[in-house]
C-alpha cells in the first residue's frame, strides 16, 4: 500500500466522531470519501485501529477527517 499522507488540513482519526457528517481521506486510494454518519454503528463495531494513526474499515484505510463545511 502506498504511503500517501492525508491533506494537512485534516484532523487525526483519533478525534473522529462517526455519528457526524464528515469527509474522510482513504490512504489506499488517495481519495476523499464523504461520510454521512449513517454507518456509525457499523464503524464503531467493525473498525480496526491500526495503531499508526490509521483506521481500517471495510475496504478503506482512513488516515484523516475533516468537517463537511471546512470547519
At residue 37, the pLDDT reads 94
* Radius of gyration (C-alpha) of the chain in whole angstroms: 11
5 against 52, higher pLDDT:
52
Evaluate whether 68 touches 22 at the Cβ level (below 8 Å): yes
The string of pLDDT tens digits covering residues 45-71 is 999 999 999 999 999 999 999 998 654
At residue 8, the pLDDT reads 78
Domain ranges of the chain: 13-67
SS3 of 10-33: the string is CECHHHCCCCCCEEEEECCCCEEE
The string of pLDDT tens digits covering residues 25-36 is 999 999 999 999
Amino acid at each position: 500500500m502506498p504511503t500517501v499522507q492525508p491533506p494537512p488540513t485534516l484532523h487525526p482519526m483519533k478525534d473522529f466522531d462517526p455519528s457526524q457528517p464528515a469527509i474522510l481521506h482513504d490512504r489506499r486510494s488517495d481519495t476523499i470519501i464523504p461520510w454521512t454518519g449513517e454507518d456509525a454503528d457499523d464503524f464503531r463495531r467493525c473498525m480496526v485501529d491500526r495503531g499508526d494513526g490509521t483506521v481500517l474499515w471495510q475496504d478503506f484505510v482512513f488516515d484523516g477527517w475533516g468537517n463537511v463545511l471546512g470547519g
